[in-house]
Structure 1
Amino acid sequence: MANDKTPTILIADDDHQALSILKQIMMGQGLNVITASDGNSTREMVSEQKPDLVILDNYMPGVSGSEICREIKDDPKTRLIPVVMLTGYTETPDKLEAIEAGADDFINKPYKAVELITRIKSLLKVKFLNDELDSAEEVIFSLAKAIEAKDEYTKDHTARVSQLALAMGHQLKLSAEEQDALYKGGILHDVGKIGIPDGILNKPGRLTDEEFAAIRTHPAVGEGICKPLKSMRIASKIVRHHHEKLDGSGYPDKISGDQIPVVARIMAIVDVYDALTSVRSYRTALPQDKAFGILEEESNKGWWDKELLATFKSIVTV
């Protein structure tokens, strides 16, 4: 493996002889191996040890392999762990059940060791690529936190915005990918401010034209930071377009209407709302009713999506 970490594989099978043979094969490839012999202990080991790959027998006491697989794939903390289903049965319904549960591969017993090893190594490569992707995302999230830490008045702004945007995505029944992008975009929408001098970011008074021009660069800079990661495909659009307005008077691209992705239109409203209802160096926090009064006035000017604003108001109004 190209990765320095020795992969850990969980093998779950109630056939102790088959389990022992498979364990020896995997250990012969230099892999760490942990084992379980029933569904309940398998569930516990996945939760506690987060293995790099799971090999499941489909028929085990307690909880079936397919059900364990489904649980692994439904949990955001474990869904990227590859799962290989093993069974001594060859009927199509078993394969369909495994596929529906989200299994990454399906192998019948008796299997050829060489074929099994090849498939396992291939899945582990994908797993480690995903791990590296997570590490890259963590670096970008750290940048966003570093920017926020520069200004005591924006503390926790990204956390609030990400949660509010996610609530909007859930209410609107957006896709799981779009909801994930709203959460990530909420955290990262201002990451492009990393290159803007602190004196401009924290200036208590009105910005000069030159200073505001510097501020206007942050959406494009932020997109440049996020876009190389495919997992940020939609989030990077939020980062770039969260200061656009429906009438085309926003920045950086002055796009209008449906040209602005719906996730960016959501973020624009949520971002302004949180800014209005939070303390700033130049004013106190506005009460909720006044904040929505301003947003509705701006919506009438053609800045914000009226339907999205109404939905947002219904979610947060107390």
Structure 2
Amino acid sequence: MDPHDSAVPPVDVEAPAATPEAPRLFLPASALVSETLGRATILLVDSVDINRQLIKGILKAGPYRLLDARNPVDAFHILQREPVDLIIADMMMPAQGHPMYGGFEFCRQVKANRRTRLIPILILTSVQGIDNEVAGLESGADEFLIKPLQPAVVRTRIRTMLRNKRTIDSLEEAETILFALAQTVEQRDKETGNHCQRLAALSVALGTALGLPEEDLVALYRGGFLHDIGKIAIPDAILFKRGVLTEAEWTIMRSHTWKGEEICRRMRSLSPVLPVIRNHHEKWDGTGYPDGLGGEQIPLLARILQLADIYDALTSRRSYKSAFAPEEAMKILGKESEMGWRDPELVSVFVEMVRQPNFVARSAALFAPEDDGSEEGMELQSMRDSLARMSREVLK
């Protein structure tokens, strides 16, 4: 948050000038396997041993690492500990209550989990019929082959699926690098601590209170990390200047909004986050930047993240101020609403949310390791998985 964005008067003090060494970047383990060994990992899921042996024979000469499981339970245990590039599953795997549709249910579960939903699935079956093929594809299977299998067709289909998977992995790695850059921006200032994580949690909590759909919650979560990525293009002499910035320097500082948008624009998956990055410094009365938007013209997600950003800045300690108590921070937000700077209705919801019992604990739960298996728990797990990819796999 920029000091002049809040009603709290900025203090003319020396800002910390230290710039810690940028963290090293690491590719996901699955990418490292493909790049260093040239081998894709394929998981075979079939209750019949001879069927798995047949597939192994067909793929024996290929550059593959083959894992096998007798049932979906064993398969999920493997998926939890192994990076898998492709799943080959039989449609007729036994499943409680629905013996003929075990493979389809397995597909649905794989595709419902954000950790595994991008893994392509090839379904094999000896059952003829368009209905079965349609059911398989609707369950999440990416390809469908009828037995008896033709080895050349199997190998060609697998190569095609793995080629597509590598393309997806490349896009995911590019997105991950952007998150790493955003983390680098934050870590240039030791005082901000885990600002991105807290901002992501606060934004998602407010979005949840408003009843926003999951895609908006994910955009808010990502926006918590990417909102200030444009500051990577701001010179240290300005970003860490000791004292008040000149008007010319403020012009450069304000450019981090549209520069951040430009950095992320090429990633189509980040398009829902672009308004958050560009417009989180707009004001309700139209006096903000970079576009001077006012009222409902300001994208809702940008308004949500803005409140979370201000609240976190107010309740965090800085070299030029002590941390405000939550009640004091909410009074400041209320004052800024009266001044015409903030969305008054959104401020009311935010204040009510913060005053709820165990608010801090519930926000922190977004990053807890447990998952109770409920629909809400799965959504939180998806966000935690995203954070894990950004923070643990990329930043060491």
Question: TM > 0.5 between the two?
Answer: yes
By how many angstroms is 1:98 displaced? 3.1
Contact 1:162 1:183 in 2 (8 A): yes
Q: How far apart are 1:15 and its partner, in Å?
A: 2.5
Which residue, 118, 123, 129 being the options, matches 1:85? 123
* Alpha-carbon distance in 2 for matches of 1:153, 1:13: 53
> Distance between the aligned counterparts of 1:102 and 1:313, measured in 2?
42
Alpha-carbon contact 1:157-1:274 (below 8 Å) kept: yes
Residue segments in structure 1 that go unaligned for 5+ positions in a row: none
How far, CA to CA, are the matches of 1:147 and 1:139 in structure 2?
Answer: 13
Residues 1:47 and 2:80 aligned together: yes
Aligned-pair CA distance for 1:166 = 1.8
Q: State the partner residue of 1:136.
A: 174
CA separation in 2, counterparts of 1:143 and 1:47? 28
- 1:21 is aligned, of 54, 67, 88, to 54
Give identity over the alignment, percent: 39
Amino acid at match of 1:55: I
For residue 261 of structure 1, report the CA deviation from its aligned partner: 2.0
Are the aligned partners of 1:43 and 1:68 in contact in 2 as well (CA < 8 Å)?
Answer: no
Cα distance in structure 1, aligned partners of 2:178 and 2:92: 43
Provide the rounded CA distance (Å) in 2 between the counterparts of 1:302 and 1:115: 66
State which of 271, 278, 286 in structure 1 corresponds to 2:324: 286
Question: What is the correspondence of 1:46-85 to structure 2 with a 5 Å cutoff?
Answer: 46-61=79-94, 64-85=102-123
Equivalent residue letter for 1:10: L
Instruction: Report how far residue 97 of structure 1 moved.
Output: 4.4
Give distance in 2, aligned partners of 1:110 and 1:300: 73
Partner residue of 2:336?
Answer: 298
Q: Summarize the Cα distance change of 1:293–1:211 in structure 2 as closer, same or farther, 3 Å threshold.
A: same
Matching residue's letter, 1:290:
E
Equivalent-residue separation in structure 2 for 1:207 and 1:112 (angstroms): 70
Contact 1:73 1:79 in 2 (8 A): yes
Query: What is the correspondence of 1:234-313 to structure 2 with a 5 Å cutoff?
Result: 234-313=272-351
Instruction: Identify the residue that residue 9 of structure 1 maps to in structure 2.
Output: 42
Separation in 1 of the partners of 2:129 and 2:324?
65
Instruction: Look up the SS of the partner of 1:9 in the other structure.
Output: strand
1:30 is matched with which residue? 63
Q: 1:137 to 1:109 in 2, by over 3 A?
A: same
The alpha-carbon distance between structure 1 residues 193 and 87, as it changes in their structure 2 partners (threshold 3 A), is: same
Match for 2:220 among 176, 179, 182?
Answer: 182
Letter in 1 for 2:45: A
Q: Which consecutive residues of structure 2, in runs of 5 or more, have no partner in the other structure?
A: 1-33, 97-101, 358-396
Q: Is residue 8–residue 51 contact of structure 1 (8 Å, CA) maintained in 2?
A: yes
- Mean alpha-carbon deviation: is it higher for 178-187 or for 250-259? 250-259
Distance 1:245 1:305, change over 3 A: same
Partners of 2:51 and 2:131 in 1: CA distance: 23
Give the partner amino acid of 1:118: T
- The whole-number CA distance in structure 2 between the counterparts of 1:19 and 1:230 is 38
Deviation string 1:50-77 (CA, Å, 9 cap, x unpaired) is 2101011122245622232222222221
CA contact (8 A) 1:204 1:282 kept: no
Q: Which amino acid counterpart does residue 268 of structure 2 have in structure 1? A: K
Question: Matched residues in 1 for 2:202 and 2:209: separation?
Answer: 11
CA distance in 1, matches of 2:106, 2:77: 10
Partner of 2:238: 200
Q: Secondary structure at the match of 2:117?
A: coil
Please report how far the alpha carbon of residue 204 of structure 1 lies from its aligned counterpart in structure 2 after TM superposition.
Answer: 5.3
Asked if 1:124 is matched to 2:162, the reply is: yes
Which secondary structure state, in structure 2, belongs to the residue aligned with residue 34 of structure 1?
strand
Local SS of the residue matching 1:233 = helix
Q: Between 92-101 and 44-53, report the one with greater CA deviation.
A: 92-101
Q: What residue identity is the alignment partner of 2:223?
A: G
The residue correspondences of 1:220-235 to structure 2 (distance < 5 A) are 220-235=258-273
Change (3 A) 1:201 1:131: same
* Residues 85, 98 of structure 1: 8 Å contact kept: yes
Counterparts of 2:156 and 2:351, CA distance in 1: 54
